[in-house]
Amino acid sequence: MAIETKRIREDFPILKREVHGKPLVYLDNAATTQKPQVLIDALVEYYSSYNANIHRGIHALAEEATGKYEATRQTVADFIGAPDASNIVFTRNTTESINLVAHAWGRKFLTAGDEIVLSTMEHHSNLVPWQTLAKEKGVVLRFIDIDDDGQFVQDDIERHIGPKTKLVAVTHMSNVLGTINPVREIAERAHQHGALVLLDGAQSVPHLPVNVQELDCDFLAFSAHKMLGPTGVGVLYAKRELFEEMDPFLGGGEMIRRVQLEESTWNDVPWKFEAGTPNIGDVCAFSAAIDYLSGLGMENVRAHEIEMVQEGVRRLANVPGITIYGPESAERRGGVISFNLDNVHPHDLGTVLDHHGVAIRAGHHCAQPLMGRLDVVATARASFYVYNEKEEFDALIEGIEAAARLFRAPVHTGA
C-alpha cells in the first residue's frame, strides 16, 4: 500500500502555514517531525479531561491517568516487538536513555581495561556519556570507522569486537549519512564474546520496521518527537534481566518500595527507573502517534522514504558543485540526504532556503567527529517523512539555485 501523502498532509495543521510568504516545505524531520491533529487532540484531552498524577492517587482522575500512561507503555512495547511492557522505561529523550545505561549499568559493571566499541558516525549522545565513563573508570574506547560509501568498515567490526569488549554502542541509522548499519550481524558477534549491544534508534525506529527480539539488541534508545510524538518523551528498552541487575539512575519518589532514614529499597522494574512525576500528558499522547504510524504500516513508511531518497539524490546530483554524503543506494540509507554546495557554507545555504520556505538542517548535526572524518566543517541536510512529496524538491532546488547565484557559484540543474 502506497503512502497517500496528499491525504496525510491534511492531518498536519502546521503544513498549511507559509514561511516568508512561501508555502512551508519542511525537510528537517531528522531533527524533529511535525505533529498530526490526533496527537494534538490527545494532548489537549489529557489536560482537559484527566490531568492527575499517576501511580499514587486512588481517585478517578488518577486511576484514569495511570491507566493511559501504562497503556502507552504497552503500545510502545508492541511497536518495537518487546516481549513485555516491563521492558520499557520512559525517559526525556534518546540522550537520557543512553546516559541511564552509562550510569546505571556502566558504572556498576565496567572496570579498568574493559572495552566499549563505538563508531565514527555516532551522534554526540552516543559518544559523550561513554567518554565520561571511560575517564572515570579507565574503560577503553574503540571506534569502527566508515568507508567512502559511509558504511562500517567490515574489518573494523571484526578487529574491534573481541574478548575485552563489554559493550557495543552504535547507531542503527546515521542521522547524517542515513546509513542503515548491520546491527543484527554486530549483535551476533558481540554476543559471541559475551558483550552487550546498545542501539541508538533515534533515527531508525521512526522510519523502519524495528523488532528488538529479531535484532537481539540488549538496549534500544529512541525519542517520541522524531516519530510524530511530543517532545520530552524518550524510551529505553532493555532485556528484563539487565534492568533487574542495574541500580537506579535517579533517586526520589515513585522509584522506591520502602524508605527509612538510613536506607531504601527499590520499586519493581520499570518504575525503578522513573523517579518523580514523569511527563504524563506527553507520554499518554504518544500512543496516538504510534497508532498513526501503525495505521500507515512501517513497511509503507520505509518504502515511501526510499522513493523520496531516490528522487532527492537524482535531483541533487544534477546540480554542479553538489557533494552528497552517504551510501549510494537508497535501500541502504534512511530518509536523509546530507550534502554541500561548493563555495557556499551550509549555514548560508540554510538561510537562503529558509527565505524560500524550505526548512533544512545546516551544521555538524551533533556529529563533529563524523564531520572530521568527512573533512568538512558542516553539511546541509534534507530529511523526509510520511508527509513529504516529490514535488517539494522543486522548492529545494530553486533555493539552492538562488544560493549559488548569490554566492557566485555557477549552477545548471536538470529535471
**Residues noted as catalytic:** 366
- Scanning 324-391, the segments in alpha helix (DSSP H) are 346-354, 368-374
C-beta of residue 176 within 8 angstroms of C-beta of residue 333: no
Half-sphere exposure of 151 (CA within 13 A, CB side): 15
Neighbours of 56 (CB within 10 A): 11
C-beta of residue 285 within 8 angstroms of C-beta of residue 43: yes
Whose CA is closest to 292, among 25, 15, 11? 11
Grid cell 567490526 in the structure block, residue: 157
In 239-321, the DSSP E strands lie at 256-259, 264-266
Residue 150: DSSP 8-state: S
The greatest distance separating any two alpha carbons of the chain, rounded to the nearest whole angstrom, comes to 74
C-beta of residue 106 within 8 angstroms of C-beta of residue 238: no
For the four alpha carbons of 128, 122, 237 and 304, in that order, the dihedral sign comes to positive
Neighbours of 304 (CB within 10 A): 24
Grid cell 545505561 in the structure block, residue: 101
What is the distance in angstroms between the CA of the first residue and the CA of the last residue of the chain?
27
Q: Which residues touch 336 (CB under 8 Å, ≥6 apart)?
A: 30, 174, 175, 176, 177, 178, 203, 309, 326, 381, 382, 383, 384
Q: Could you tell me how many residues make up the chain?
A: 415
Alpha-carbon distances of 88 from 70, 274, 351, rounded to whole Å = 10, 11, 40
Main-chain phi, psi angles of 33, to 5 degrees: -100, 160
DSSP lists the bridge partners of residue 118 as: 143
The DSSP line for 30-57 is TT-----HHHHHHHHHHHHH----SSS-
Q: Give the whole-angstrom CA distance, residue 402 versus residue 349.
A: 9
